[in-house]
Structures are given as structure tokens and as C-alpha cells.
Structure 1
């Protein structure tokens, strides 16, 4: 959690990994991927609370349809919720489609939604089920609870599945005990839920995961990034597969080394398994002296050469940071985008992996709306 938030082996392997995790196989679609420049998706009413929207996310269905959601700062009551918007033309236009509502707590679904399309059956959740994990928090911000919802009708309706983790007040101060920022992924026939955890008295915040074979019962908490100094706060897990069988995780590193006054410098780790990042070394993302800061998001695309392209977004920049050398620390390059900077801005590799979707819900404290762009990745 960004501390300033206040209110709250080869090409075959590469293609296999991509299909299983970050994007569907390239198919002929009714609408081809194409450039979209700073398209408005949703403008909230003037009655919404600041920042009105934040923290946008997408998922792509098997037929190419895109669904999007975000933090929605609607007046209360009624309870806050996650809106679902749909695009059938690859991000060019969007329409309101459904909502994900709190069905169990009476608090609302307030922060940090995460959408994921199941690539295989997990328990009674069939392949193609859409999952939405998010933070259910009451109006007084006194509790946090990462809950999991599922849709088996392409996002039209949603049902509660389980609670992944529960914590204290939605306050990012060290000493408080919330849970934050879920990120979902299937690995080794299990559903993995990654999140930021402030409940361990030895750590102001750390990154952890839990696994489930059915989406209902969750295993033990496993550390992913946990520093020995209490005040150091890694946050905001996102993960992508690499074509050499490795995995990359990005995170903001609050309270850690602060080069060039980057308040929450972006670090990454590379591991042979997405379950063993705590054994890997953290590396500062440094693009020839430019250090991005806060709320990163990482994806990998087979576009851009034999190693494909790692792309990272950060709150501090409208550009993306790209690497075509499997995360080599000296090979990061800044590349311009048509999309504005935003807190926890989202990336998605499209069916045609030359194209990257970027979606934002606006900056912290802004008078926000939700926007997206689709751009061609550089072939560096």
C-alpha cells in the first residue's frame, strides 16, 4: 500500500506460458487489435467522493471481450461496489454491464479489485470462470477483508466464493494490521492469491501468498518479500512469466533505499517459481538513472524479439519501462505511451501481443475518471 494514500527456453515455451497466464492465444477475432488513444470509459457523477475512481483492472474472455472494473467512490449508503464495464471492440468503446456487490459483510467492496480468468478448472470453478478478488471494508475503514467472487456467465452475475484474508483498519501506517492489494494466478494446478500483509508484528508490511485447490479453503501464509527492517514496506504484488521458465514480480519498496528521491522505488525479483520469490534478490528498476516510483504493474509479451518484452508501469510516469533482455538490470528503457499516469495503472497484453492495453482510474486525490489506451509495443 502506497503510504501517501491517506484515505484509506524458447518461443514454444514462451507461447505456452503466455496462453496459460497473461493473454489468450492469437486468434482471428471479429475486431482486430488496434490503437486506442486515451479513451474515456467512465466519468463519475459530481456527487462521488474524492478521488471518485481509482485502481482500474481488466480481464479478457475467450471470445476477445474485455471486462473492466475499478474502485468506485460512490456516496454511501448504499454500499460501495465494483462496477463491471464491457468492451467488444478491443478497448475502443465500453458499456456498463454488471456490478460486483458485497454479499456477506454488509460493508461494500471498496478497494483494490483484481480480475482473473481461470485457465483451468479449480474445484467447482470451471475453466473460463471469471474471478474478482477485492477488499471489503466498512465505511469507517475499521476492518479489511479480501473476498473472492466468481462469475460463470461471462461477468453478468457474481457469487461469493470465499474469504482469503482478514485484517484490521484500512490504515497504511506501520503498526496497523490491514491486508491489501490481491493479485490472482493459477500455478501448479492451484489458485494462488498474493497480497500485502501488515499483520505480522515483525514487519510493517510484507508481501505474501496463500494457495487453494478449490478457491474455498486457503493454505498457510507464505512470505514472498519480507525485509528484516520493520519499517521497510514492500507492497503491491504483480507477477508475469518469462520465456526462459523464470517469473518476475514487481513491487514498490516503501522505506527502502531511496535513490534520486523516489518515494516508493520500484524493485523486482526473478525466480524459477512464483512461489519462491522470498529466496530471490531484489533489484532496483533503473532506466539509465530514472527510478520509477509507486504502484507498479508488470506484464510480459512475446513481442519484441527472442526474449519478448517485459513492460512495467508505475504511478510516477506516464511512460512504461521496457526490458527485452529477460530483466537484465542494465537494460531498462523508458518508452512513451498515450495514456496518462495513474495510481496502480493496469497493463494487459492483447491477443495480438504487439499491442498493449493501459488502463487508469486516475491519481491519488484527483477528480478522476477511468480511461484506457491501446498501443503497439516497441521492437527494441
Structure 2
């Protein structure tokens, strides 16, 4: 993540960000509000390990009331109803809660059975009259498909001193947790870490737990020896062949492309290679362009013959860094486990006026249908009052564009 001051304050104020250049008209869309109030950072899972509840789609959203809102759909994502909420006493005290993750356990971890829903978030609490900020990545669990939640553990904690840098005071020192499970059955958490900011402005780190309570083996996942380069916003998914695919952004690698999307692979869900290897840049086939900021991956059984990796990103840019008309209108897809170039397809939700700022199309979640023919997207946009809100819609997965016929045919 780029440093953006206090994220929640920016999202909640209702700023009118300018349009990112000339854009085609926005067509009518079937998007629906996922939550009836200001909200951001939506996440989606389809229950697969919960017995008779399998097939239910559960969504989580961060709200500006400092709670996690849990919604659920039992009709395949056509409608969502409120199912539960997560109220963290720490965030209630500080008024800061951000950047959550939602995950269903495929197998038991500690005393949590398969099908347990997990929710992780970043909480800030100020102490010593706003001289010191305490930051936690906190884990919650639900054993009844999202209706009731209990606090499980602190994944990681850190402290940040008041700082008058050019980035502003009181910077959080860790954020954006995501969850995965390694091949050996341990719970793995990734997050963006600023605690070593003198050497690394930000890096990606990981920890693991055999029981969801005790977290060990903090390890760098992606780190640059150039101090101002900032890897962040990691999300890892397991592919059908048992390997893992992780997407993330790296900011400040050059002045033209601020936060390019990268990926790397793992055979066991814990070892992702040399942390100093920044990874493979995601490129599009049409013009060799890029996707930038806040990527989110998902596995789909189609439209590729062997399945497809889908990827959302906040913005699309050309090789020279110019924001393209694809911004806010397309998803990326790859039918070769991430290898080679990616192709674009229409996104279910169209969002205009996107710039390098939170809310609009920021970390949009994807949930493909079980037949690989469509995908549900949950994305955020500014409403008519300038408030950030989460929406959802479903759209087809048509596959790669048909190449043009050879000349003379």
C-alpha cells in the first residue's frame, strides 16, 4: 500500500476525486449495494467445508462504525442479507479498524473444526496521549457460518512512535493481513510491515500457527534493499494442483509505474522463494501494459480448459504509465497458472473516475462460480453523497478475445 495518511479518515470524508483522463461513458450496471452504509474492503467466500451450509456465500465488509459487517447469500449471490457483525473493543476505543481478510478453514486447526470462518483485521489504538500507536493484526472465528464471532489471537503486534516525516504523523506500522493454509495444515498469515522502516519503508512478512493461537516463524516474504520500495497487499490462493499463487503490489520501483502487480508461486504455501526476488510482473497481452494497485486473485474452473486465474486491480496503465480506458472496466485472466501474458475481460462492476486513492475499485474481491462461467465481484465506489460504499454484481467469464483472422482470409 502507498502511504495515504490515515486510511479511514480519507475514505470517510467523501472527497470528489477527479476523473483519470477521458473515459468512455459508463453503461447501466446491475450492481447492488452489499451493505446499506459506508463500507470498504469487501471480501467473499463460498462455503465448501460446512456441511449443509455448503454453497452459501459469505461476505465481510469494514464499516466506518469500526465494525466488521457479515453478509450472506443463499441464492448464489443474487441477494445478500445481514448475518452477523464483529465489534472489536480495541477498535471501539481507538476508532481505527482496517483492511480485513475472510477465510474458511478447509481442515481443523487447533480446536477450530473445518468450516470455521476466520476474519483478520488491523486495529490501531493510541496510547500515551497520541505519542505512541499500538497496532495489532487480530484474528476472529465463527463456528456458525458468520452469525457469531469470538476473538482468537493477535497475529502480530507492533508500535509506532509519533513522527513528523513528510508522510505525516502517527503512521501505522503494519496492516493488510491475509490468510492461507499451508500444505502441512498450518494457518499462515501475511501482512504489510513497516517496523523496519529505516532499512525498508515497507515489506511483506509472514507468520504461521499450528492452532490459530500461537504465531511463530516471522519471515520476510518479499523485501527490497532499496529503502523506499514498498511491497504490500499480499493474497495467496491454493490452486487445484496443490501449488499456491500469491499476488501483491510493489510501489516505488520506478517513477512511471507507481505500484505494479507482481506474483510468485509456492509448492507448499509457506516457502515462496528468495524474499529479495521481487517476483514476476503481471503484463497484458494486448499492449504489454500493466495493472496497478491493490490486486486480488481468485481461481476459477473456467473459462480456460485447465482453469483460469482471475485478478482484479485498481488501475490499468500502458507501458509509458498512462492510465488506460480499461481502468475500472476489466479483470485480468490467465489460463496457464500465471505464466505468460494475461488477457482482459469485462468486469461485472464498472467504476469511473479512478485515481491513485482509496475507495474507487480498491482491492476488489472476486468469487468465480463453481462452473467457471461467471464471477461475482465486490467493489467499492463513491455514492452520490461522496461516501464510500461496497457493491456487488455478477458477470460472465467469456475467455480470451478471438485473435484477428490472418490478412486475406
Range with greater deviation from structure 2 (213-222 or 244-253): 244-253
TM-score, scaled to structure 1: 0.81
> Post-superposition shift, 1:176?
4.9
> Contact between 1:322 and 1:333, CA under 8 Å: does it hold in 2?
yes
Say if 2:377 and 2:394, in contact at 8 Å, map to a contact too.
yes
Task: Say if 1:366 and 1:273 are closer, same or farther in 2 by CA, change over 3 A.
Answer: farther
Specify the SS of the correspondent of 2:245: strand
CA–CA distance in structure 2, aligned partners of residues 212 and 204 of structure 1: 26
Q: Paired residue for 2:375?
A: 356
- Cα RMSD, aligned residues only: 2.7
Q: 1:245 to 1:84 in 2, by over 3 A?
A: closer
Residues 1:374 and 2:394 aligned together: yes
Q: 1 CA distance for matches of 2:159 and 2:386?
A: 26
Counterpart CA distance in 2 for 1:41 and 1:206 is 32
CA distance in 2, matches of 1:262, 1:82: 33
Query: Does 1:323 pair with 2:334?
Result: yes
Give the 3-state SS of the residue equivalent to 1:3 in structure 2. coil
More displaced 10-residue stretch of structure 1: 113-122 or 241-250: 241-250
Residue deviations 1:328-375, cap 9 Å, x none? 23x211111121341111112233332222101336995222111122
Match of 2:362 in 1: 343
Check whether the contact 1:203–1:232 (CA below 8 A) recurs between aligned residues. yes
SS across alignment from 2:388: coil
The equivalent residue for 2:40 is: 54
Report the counterpart of residue 20 of structure 2 in structure 1.
none
Q: Does 1:136 align with 2:123?
A: yes
Aligned equivalent of 2:18:
none
2:231 to 234, 241, 245: 234
What is the deviation of 1:281?
A: 5.3
Equivalents in 1 of 2:374, 2:5: separation in Å? 31
Choose from 175, 184, 187 the match for 1:191: 187
Deviation per residue, 1:253-293 (Å, 9 max, x gap): 111135xx332111112233332224255111121232111
Bigger shift: residues 212-221 or 169-178: 169-178
Distance 1:123 1:109, change over 3 A: farther
1:110 has 2:110 as partner:
no
Corresponding residue of 2:355: none
> Displacement, 1:6?
4.5
Correspondence for 2:205:
208
Change (3 A) 1:198 1:334: same
Change (3 A) 1:221 1:337: same
Which residue in the other structure is 2:356 paired with?
A: none
Q: Structure 1 residues 242, 96: closer, same or farther in 2, change over 3 A?
A: closer
**3-state SS of the aligned residue for 1:277?**
coil
Deviation track 1:88-110 (CA, whole Å, cap 9, x = no partner) reads: 11221122221101146744661
Structure 1 residues 231, 128: closer, same or farther in 2, change over 3 A?
same
Unaligned runs of 5+ in 2: 9-28, 316-326, 352-360, 401-409
Kindly report which structure 2 residues correspond to 1:1-380, keeping only aligned pairs within 5 A, or say none.
1-4=1-4, 6-7=6-7, 37-44=30-37, 52-61=38-47, 62=50, 63-74=54-65, 80-103=66-89, 106-107=93-94, 110-138=97-125, 142-169=133-160, 173=167, 176=171, 178-187=173-182, 188-200=184-196, 201-258=198-255, 261-279=256-274, 282-287=279-284, 288-316=287-315, 317-318=327-328, 319-329=330-340, 331-341=341-351, 342-362=361-381, 367-380=387-400
Change (3 A) 1:276 1:363: farther
TM-score with structure 2 length normalisation? 0.76
Unaligned runs of 5+ in 1: 9-35, 45-51, 75-79
Cα deviation per residue 1:43-89 (whole Å; 9 max; x = unaligned)? 32xxxxxxx32111122224211221222113xxxxx2111112111
> What is the deviation of 1:247?
2.3
Aligned residue pairs, count: 338
Aligned to 1:340, the other structure's residue is in SS state coil
- Asked if 1 retains the 8 angstrom alpha-carbon contact of 2:261 and 2:292, the reply is yes
